[in-house]
């Protein structure tokens, strides 16, 4: 809905999505601010102004209002004053809005947006059957505390989809910023003009919105900002034809709209800005994300790899059963396509692992988005020991190194084995798979474990058998030298040379102990060695070669 870090404001008669820059995003909850605004105003439309405009009326900042009509839209704009735009801007907007309509309504067969009969800011009548759009300076909008929420401003906003109210929530209007320059609301500059015998002072927009990945200004390349905004904002107008946002707001409103902007305008890639923060939330339930725009990567997986019309099925589900949470809607839509939700969720996590540099270790057919090489690498927990993976519902987790203890684990599991710049995926179908993976991991450069849990799957089948202690790989040539499984009633492992002299004694606190290559070479020359757990009992041989 907006760019930078966007928050949803639920107000008494409108939902506004306000943008808060990452610098100023100190964990404040936009929804709570809007709830407070709703409580304070008791649902009334409050006609008020902030310091954005002093000593004048809203109408003093514009004179002639023009409109451009297309097949489905009526766009209102002015050419003078702080709300001024250009004819080229409006022409580009009209073309891209029609492209968005074609994608959402004509191709995807979504319900068409239902527009207001009178615009909010310029207060102009909209022709019957058309959807109204206003090009304005967003922080000088009429009734700012109604449109933006209790703060009365919207920092770094591209646009707003403004809904008609709690009783008319399916009706909306789009407002788009006139130049993609915004006010530094914490250190505002002011401008002024003479109008109707008054000197009008108002906030000046002098801060350019930028694309942080491509490093360009949207104020200069406004056509790109228009493209992503048209697809994103119109999708919000479509979404509310299915679900009441006042009663059932969820993360998928923004996740799917951001994903749809990438589908409609794939060359812009504004969504890249949200991926790092979204990746940092791995391990949390997907539907509880506080970075819903970054969850667009899951939308892209569903759209590109499951079904281009999959999102329509989700919104149809919301319309039929608005009380059902997203995870249940997702499961029903997948099962209708004869797909197991747990398998699909695991496949998503496996393919997501090919983000950033890891994308080069597999063929591009393993990706679900052509942009994956440009995304950040997925974060992971690093370990050299035995670990128990997290299995929270609707989460996915990655661990590098070590070896998992999967007794009583519920969920899906797989592992990527990396060797010489290439990755090979192995699915863990049972506990018995783990033992073969120990042998298969010999000689690999690294391991990346992938775990997911969709809802309440059964534990992995099989039974862990008691395996004898062993060293691997043997003979050892390079990489880590590991010993497993180690008993819990002992604390250290001894390594002696053929004469019986103690070479080293290493403590351990898990089921596996791995020694690094540099450490091995500093302690042992090539030859045959013997090892055992503790200071008594039989020893076993292993060989060092380098």
DSSP string, 433-460: HHHHHHHHTTT-SEEEEEEEE-S-PPBP
**Residue 102, C-beta contacts closer than 8 angstroms, at least 6 positions apart:** none
CB 504 within 8 A of CB 543: no
Q: Catalogue the long-range contacts made by 75-80 (C-beta closer than 8 Å, 24 or more residues apart).
A: 75/133, 75/134, 75/135, 76/119, 76/122, 76/124, 76/132, 76/133, 76/134, 76/135, 77/134, 77/135, 77/178, 78/122
- Look at 258 and 163; give whichever has higher pLDDT: 258
**C-alpha angle 183/186/192, rounded to 5°?**
45
Pairing relationship of beta strands 15-20 and 5-10 according to DSSP bridges: antiparallel
Residue 357: pLDDT over 50: yes
Residue 278: pLDDT over 60: yes
H helices of 201-338, in order, are 222-239, 245-248, 252-264, 275-279, 296-301, 310-320, 326-336
pLDDT of 405 reads: 86
pLDDT of 462 reads: 61
Helix %, strand %, coil % of the chain (to 5): 30, 25, 45
- E-only strand ranges, 274-421: 381-382, 386-387, 395-400, 403-404, 412-419
Task: Report which of 379, 371, 433, 446 is spatially closest to residue 406, judged by C-alpha positions.
Answer: 433
Confidence category of residue 461, pLDDT binned at 50, 70, 90: low
CB 70 within 8 A of CB 98: yes
Residue 61: pLDDT over 90: yes
- Cα–Cα distance, 54 to 408 (Å, whole number): 66
pLDDT of 154 reads: 77
Confidence category of residue 456, pLDDT binned at 50, 70, 90: confident
- Cα–Cα distance, 205 to 216 (Å, whole number): 18
Residue 193: pLDDT over 80: yes
pLDDT of 84 reads: 97
Residue 10: pLDDT over 50: no
Find the mean pLDDT for residues 270-283.
93
pLDDT of 427 reads: 94
The string of pLDDT tens digits covering residues 113-150 is 999 999 999 999 999 999 999 999 998 999 887 777 76
Find the mean pLDDT for residues 49-66.
81
Task: Report which of 208, 205, 135, 215 is spatially closest to residue 175, judged by C-alpha positions.
Answer: 135
CB 116 within 8 A of CB 172: yes
The string of pLDDT tens digits covering residues 503-532 is 999 999 877 888 888 999 999 999 999 999
Say how many residues make up the chain. Answer: 546
Find the mean pLDDT for residues 75-81.
97
Domain range list for the chain: 5-248, 351-453, 470-544
Residue 2: pLDDT over 50: no
- Cα–Cα distance, 174 to 166 (Å, whole number): 17
The string of pLDDT tens digits covering residues 359-389 is 999 999 999 999 999 999 999 999 877 889 9
pLDDT of 145 reads: 79
Task: Report which of 515, 537, 533 is spatially closest to residue 524, judged by C-alpha positions.
Answer: 515
Give me the phi and psi of 362, to 5 degrees please. Answer: -135, 165
Q: Catalogue the long-range contacts made by 424-431 (C-beta closer than 8 Å, 24 or more residues apart).
A: 425/350, 428/460, 429/460, 429/461, 430/460, 430/461, 430/462, 431/406, 431/407, 431/460, 431/461, 431/462, 431/463, 431/464
For residue 263, the SS3 value is helix
pLDDT of 465 reads: 54
The string of pLDDT tens digits covering residues 210-267 is 998 889 999 999 999 999 999 999 999 999 999 998 889 899 999 999 999 999 999 9
pLDDT of 341 reads: 96
pTM: 0.81
Q: What percent of the chain has pLDDT over 70?
A: 88
Mean pLDDT of the chain: 86
pLDDT of 157 reads: 84
- Cα–Cα distance, 215 to 33 (Å, whole number): 32
Confidence category of residue 489, pLDDT binned at 50, 70, 90: confident
Please give the CATH number for the structural domain made up of 470-544. 2.60.40.3080
């Amino acid at each position: 809905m907006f760019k930078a870090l966007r928050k949803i404001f639920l107000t008494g008669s409108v939902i506004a999505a306000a943008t808060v820059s990452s610098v100023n995003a100190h964990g404040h909850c936009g929804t709570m601010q809007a709830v407070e605004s709703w409580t304070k105003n008791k649902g009334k439309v409050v006609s008020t102004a902030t310091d954005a405009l002093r000593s004048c009326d809203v109408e003093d900042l514009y004179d002639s209002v023009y409109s451009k009509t297309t097949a489905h839209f009526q766009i209102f704009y002015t050419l003078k004053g702080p709300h001024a735009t250009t004819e080229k801007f409006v022409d580009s907007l009209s073309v891209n809005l029609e492209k968005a309509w074609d994608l959402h309504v004509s191709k995807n067969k979504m319900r068409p947006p239902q527009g207001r009969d009178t615009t909010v800011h310029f207060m102009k009548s909209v022709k019957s059957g058309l959807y109204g759009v206003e090009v304005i300076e967003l922080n000088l909008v009429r009734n700012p505390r109604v449109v933006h929420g209790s703060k009365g401003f919207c920092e770094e906003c591209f646009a707003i989809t403004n809904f008609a109210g709690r009783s008319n929530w399916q009706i909306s209007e789009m407002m788009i910023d006139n130049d993609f320059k915004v006010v530094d609301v914490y250190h505002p500059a002011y401008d002024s003009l003479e109008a109707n015998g008054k000197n009008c002072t108002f906030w000046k927009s002098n801060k350019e919105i930028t694309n942080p990945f491509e490093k360009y200004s949207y104020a200069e390349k406004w056509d790109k900002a228009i493209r992503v905004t048209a697809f994103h904002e119109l999708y919000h107008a479509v979404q509310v034809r299915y679900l009441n946002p006042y009663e059932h707001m969820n993360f998928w409103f923004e996740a799917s709209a951001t994903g749809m902007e990438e589908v409609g305008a794939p060359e812009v890639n504004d969504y890249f800005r949200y991926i790092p923060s979204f990746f940092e939330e791995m391990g949390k339930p997907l539907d509880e994300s506080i970075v819903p725009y970054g969850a667009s990567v899951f939308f892209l997986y569903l759209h590109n790899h499951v079904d281009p019309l999959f999102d329509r099925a989700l919104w149809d589900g919301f319309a039929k059963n608005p009380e059902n949470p997203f995870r249940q809607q997702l499961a029903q839509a997948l099962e209708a396509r004869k797909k197991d939700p747990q398998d699909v969720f695991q496949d998503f996590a496996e393919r997501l692992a090919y983000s950033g540099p890891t994308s080069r270790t597999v063929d591009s057919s393993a990706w679900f988005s052509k942009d994956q090489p440009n995304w950040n690498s997925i974060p992971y927990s690093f370990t050299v020991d035995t670990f128990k993976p997290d299995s929270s519902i609707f989460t996915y987790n990655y661990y590098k190194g070590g070896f998992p203890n999967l007794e009583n684990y519920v969920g899906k599991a797989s592992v990527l084995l990396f060797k010489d710049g290439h990755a090979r995926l192995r699915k863990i179908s049972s506990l018995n798979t783990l033992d073969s993976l120990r042998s298969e991991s010999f000689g690999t450069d690294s391991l990346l474990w992938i775990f997911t849990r969709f809802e309440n799957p059964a534990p992995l089948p099989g039974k862990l058998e008691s395996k004898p202690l062993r060293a691997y790989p043997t003979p050892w040539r390079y990489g880590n030298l590991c010993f497993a499984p180690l008993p819990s009633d002992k604390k250290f492992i001894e390594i002696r040379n053929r004469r019986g002299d103690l070479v080293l004694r290493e403590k351990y606190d898990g089921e596996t102990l791995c020694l690094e290559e540099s450490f091995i070479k500093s302690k042992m020359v090539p030859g045959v060695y013997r090892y055992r757990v503790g200071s008594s009992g039989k020893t076993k041989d292993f060989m060092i070669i380098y």
